[in-house]
Amino acid sequence: MKPALKRTLMIGLLALLLAGLIAGCNRGRRDETPEPVSAEGDLPANALQIAAERGLTPDDINAALKTFMPSGQWDEYLMFASGGHSGNMMVIGIPSMRILKHIAVFTPEAWQGYGFGARDIEEMLDAGNVNGVKIRMGDTHHPALSETEGDYDGQYVFINDKASARVAVIDLRDFETKQIVKDPNIISNHGSTFVTPNTEYVVQGAQYATPLGWEYAPIEEYEEKYRGLITLWKFNRETGRIVPEESFSIEAPPYWQDLCDAGKLVSDGWAFCNSFNTEMATGGIEDGNPPIEAGASQRDMDYLHIFNWQRAEAAVKAGKAEMINGMAVLRMPVAVEEGVLYLAPEPKSPHGADVTPDGKYIVVSGKLDPHVTIYAFDKIEQAIAGGNWELDPFGVPVLNYDAVKHAQIELGLGPLHSIFDDQGFGYTSLFLDSAVAKWKVGDEDPESWQMVEKLPVQYNIGHLTAAEGDTVSPDGKYVVVLNKWSVDRFAPVGPLLPQNIQLVDISDGNFKVIYDMAMGIGEPHNAQIIKTDKINAWTAYPEVGWDPIKQEKSEYATLPGEERIERNGNTVEIFMTSVRSHFTPERVRVKKGDHVIWHITNIETAHDATHGFQLGGHNISLSLEPGETVTFELDVSNDGTYAYYCTEFCSALHLEMMGYLLVEP
C-alpha cells in the first residue's frame, strides 16, 4: 500500500507540475526582439559606409547614438517648453527632441477641441477675458512644474501670459489646462511663473509698470502714479486651482520687476526678482526723447528685489493689505515696515535671478554686463539684520552692494540665465556671444567661483534649461538651449523661421551640442525638464462620463441606452454617446431658432480610443478622449442639412461615423 500511495502522489504532483508549465509558457508569447549590440562591437557591416556617405564626423555619430530613440522606447525626460506667442505649451521628449504634445493654454486649438464650442473650456477661457474683451491669444514664457520640498513632483505645471498678465494651471494627469486667472492690477507679467518650494505660491513679477490699480494715468505722472507689482498666487494642490481670494500682491517701485526665483532650503521663505529700468524711462522717441531701450540702460546698477513671502503672507492675514480691484495688495510702506521688501544693487539691466540648488546663493546674469554676480544669502540676512542699507526714492531699503555681493565671474557678452547640474557647475546663456558658459559653483571663498569653458550655440541663445536643473537636486546629463535665431540651420521655409532648440550633452565631462531641433510652432522662451517616470498620466479618464475641468463625473454623463433628445419649448437638449464607429443618435432634428444644448459622452475605455466631433457650418470642434463628456451650446439660426462626424480616424469605419443635423425651417 505504501508504494501505491507514493505512486499516486507522484502522478498527482506531475499533473500539477505539467499544469504549471502550460500556464507559465504562454506568458511571453510575443515576437522575439533582436539582441542589442554587445560591447565588443558587432555593428552592421555597412555602418561606416553609411557614415562616410553622409559625411558624418565621429562627433556626429556620437550625437546620433546618444539621441536616437528606438521605435517604441520612451524618452528618459520630458521637457515642458513655453510656446511663446502661440500662447500654448509644448511637451518634448529628451534626448530624442521629439514633440510629444502641444498643450492648448491661452489660444484655441481646433484639434484638441479647445475653444471651439466646448462649454467648460469656453468658460475657462472667458475667465481670462480683460474688461469684457474676449482674449483668445497669449504670450507664454516661463513654465513652472509644481514642486514638493524643492523638487519637481510631476503633478501640475503653470505658465504665464505676458501679454495680459494671466496665469494658467495645467493638470499633469491629463495634460490639459484647468484654470486661467487674470491679475486685475497689471497688464503684463513677464516675470512668471516660478513656484515656492512646496508650491504654496506661484510667484509673478509684473515687468511693465502701470498705474496702481491698473487704471489710466498720464505717462508724465510715471513716478508718482505708476507702480511695479509682485504677485503671489496661492495654489491649492487638492483642488488643483489657484485661489485668487487667498492670493496677494506686493506694491513695488515702478522699476520693471522681472524674472524671479524662489529661495529654497536655507533661503526658503524668500524670493528674488531682478528688475530693470530703475531709470524709470518712458520713451517717447516721437517727442524727441531717448528711446526706452537707451533710457532704460543708463545706470550701471539696477535692483535685485528681495522679498519675504512668508512675512508678506502673515501681514496680509493680519489685515494689513488693501483691497484693490478685488486683490489684496500690500502697499509699499507696509511692506517696508513689515520687513517684506528689500533691494540690492545688481549690474546693469540683468535678466535672470537664479538660486543655486543648495539655496545659499543667488546668481544674477548681467545682460548688459559681462558678469554673473553672485549674492550670498547669509550676507543678505546679515545686511538686513545690521540695517546696512540706504533708502531709495520710494523709501525701500537698498542693501549695501559690497556687503551682499559675494563673487563675480566674467563670462562673456550678454549673460541671460543660469541653470545647474549635479556636478557643481552652473551654465549661463550668453546672448551676444551665442554661447553657453560653464562655470564652477564655488563656496564661501569668492575666488572659488571660476569660469570653466564656453560652447558656441546657434544662434542668439535666450533661456537654457537642464534636467531638473532648477531644483534642489539637479540631474545633470542634459542642457537644452533655446536659441532665438536659427538663420541657416534648417532648410528654408520662408522669412518666418523656426527657432533652433539645441540639446547639449553635459554627461561625464562632455560639453557638446548633440541635436538641433526646429521648433516651428512657437517660440519657447523657457522650459523645464522632468524625469519621465515622475509623471503619472491617465491613459483614459477614470470613469465613463468624466468632466475633465471639474475632474469628476459629469452630471451630463450619458451611458449606452440613455441616449435621448429632449425638447423643452425652444430648447432642445441632446444626450449623445460616441463609440467605434457611431454616434447615437445619428439623426438630430431641430427647428430653426431652437437653442440646442448638446452633450456627448465618449463611452470608450480603450487606450487611445479618442473621437473627435466637428459640426460643419457652426464652428464646433470637440475632442472626446476615452471616457470624456463634453457639452456645447448652439443657436440654430439657419435651416438646412448639416453633417457632424468623427474627426479622429478611430477605426476602419471612421468615415461612416457621422450623423445629420436636420434644421427644419
Partner 1 sequence: MAGFLERILGPRVPPDEANAGRVRYLIPTALFVVAAVLLVTSIFLPYWRLTLNAPQYPKGLTIHAYLNRLEGDVSEIDGLNHYIGMRPLGEAAQFERSISIVGVAAVSLLILAAVVVHTRWVVLLTLPALLFPAVFLLDLQFWMANFGRNLDPTAPLSSSVKPFVPPVLFEGKIAQFSTWAMPESGLWLALAASVLIAAGLYFHRRAYKPLVDAQQGTA
Point out which residues bind partner 1 (CB under 8 A). Answer: 1, 4-5, 8, 11-12, 15-16, 19, 22-23, 26, 29, 579-581, 604-607, 651-653, 656
Cβ-based burial of 574 (10 A; exposed 0-12, middle 13-18, buried ≥19): buried
CB 135 within 8 A of CB 83: no
Q: How far apart are CA 258 and CA 241, in angstroms?
A: 24
Per-residue DSSP letter, 318: T
Q: Is 310 helix (H, G, I), strand (E, B) or coil?
A: helix
Report the distance separating Cα 402 and Cα 183, nearest Å: 36
Between residues 468 and 563, which has the closer beta carbon with respect to partner 1? 563
Task: For partner 1, give the closer residue by CB, 22 or 491.
Answer: 22
Q: Which is nearer to partner 1, 5 or 318 (CB)?
A: 5
Map grid coordinates 541657416 to a residue.
488
Output the smallest distance, CB 629 to partner 1, in A: 17
Q: What separation in angstroms does the CA of 174 have from each of 33, 101, 213? A: 32, 11, 36
Contact 242, 181 (CB under 8 A): yes
Q: How far is the CB of 533 from partner 1 (least distance, A)?
A: 18
Shortest spacing between CB 4 and partner 1, in angstroms: 8
Phi, psi of 605, deg, nearest 5: -125, -5
Residue 455's CB is within 10 A of a number of other CB atoms, namely: 18
Give min distance, CB of 28 to partner 1, in A.
11
- The distance of closest approach from Cβ of residue 656 to partner 1 in the complex, given in angstroms and rounded to an integer, is 8
Q: At closest approach, how far in Å is the CB of 74 from partner 1? A: 13
In the bound state with partner 1, the residue whose beta carbon lies nearer, of 304 and 650, is 650
Please provide residue 347's backbone torsions phi and psi, each rounded to the nearest 5 degrees. -65, 130
595-602 and 571-579 beta bridge pairing: parallel
**Rg (alpha carbons) of the chain, rounded to whole number:** 29
What are φ and ψ of residue 366, in 5° steps?
Answer: -75, -25
Could you tell me the smallest distance in angstroms from the CB atom of residue 657 to partner 1? Answer: 11
Nearer to partner 1 by Cβ, of 18 and 314: the residue is 18
Contact 522, 86 (CB under 8 A): yes
Q: What's at 179, amino acid-wise?
A: Q
Phi-psi group of 298: left, alpha or beta (phi > 0 → left; psi -120 to 50 → alpha; rest → beta): alpha
State which H helix or E strand residue 276 sits in: strand 270-276
CB of 587 to partner 1, least distance (A): 19
Smallest distance, Å, CB 579 to partner 1? 6
> Of 452 and 653, which has the nearer Cβ to partner 1?
653
Toward partner 1, which CB reaches closer, 12 or 333?
12
Nearer to partner 1, 340 or 609 (CB): 609
Residue 8 CB, shortest distance to partner 1, in Å, is 5
* Residue 646 C-beta: closest distance to partner 1, Å: 14
Element (H, E) at 560: none
Q: Could you tell me if 654 and 647 are in contact, meaning their C-beta atoms sit under 8 angstroms apart?
A: no
Of residues 26 and 131, the one with the C-beta less far from partner 1: 26
Q: Are 309 and 196 in contact (CB under 8 A)?
A: yes
For residue 157, the number of C-alpha atoms closer than 13 Å in the C-beta half-sphere is: 34
Residue type, 244: P
Closer CB to partner 1, 452 or 655, in the complex: 655
Do residues 344 and 380 lie in contact, with contact meaning Cβ atoms separated by under 8 Å?
A: yes
Q: How far apart are CA 600 and CA 119, in angstroms?
A: 12
Nearer CB in complex with partner 1: 56/100: 100
Q: How far is the CB of 15 from partner 1 (least distance, A)?
A: 6
Cβ distance to partner 1 smaller for residue 22 or 318: 22
- Tell me whether residue 313 or residue 604 sits nearer to partner 1 (CB atom): 604
The CA distance from 107 to 158, in Å, is 15
DSSP category for residue 209: -
Continuous segment of H or E residues that includes residue 664: strand 658-664
CB of 22 to partner 1, least distance (A): 7
**Closest of 308, 328, 310 to residue 319, by C-alpha:** 328
Residue 467, exposed/middle/buried by CB under 10 A (0-12, 13-18, 19+)? buried
Least distance from partner 1 to the Cβ atom of residue 241, Å: 33
d(CA 530, CA 77): 6
Cα(169)–Cα(242) distance, integer angstroms: 8
Closer CB to partner 1, 261 or 604, in the complex: 604
- Least spacing, CB of residue 340 vs partner 1, in Å: 54
The nearer residue to partner 1, 22 or 39, going by C-beta atoms, is: 22
Sheet holding 301-308, edge to edge: 256-262, 270-276, 301-308, 341-347, 397-399, 389-391
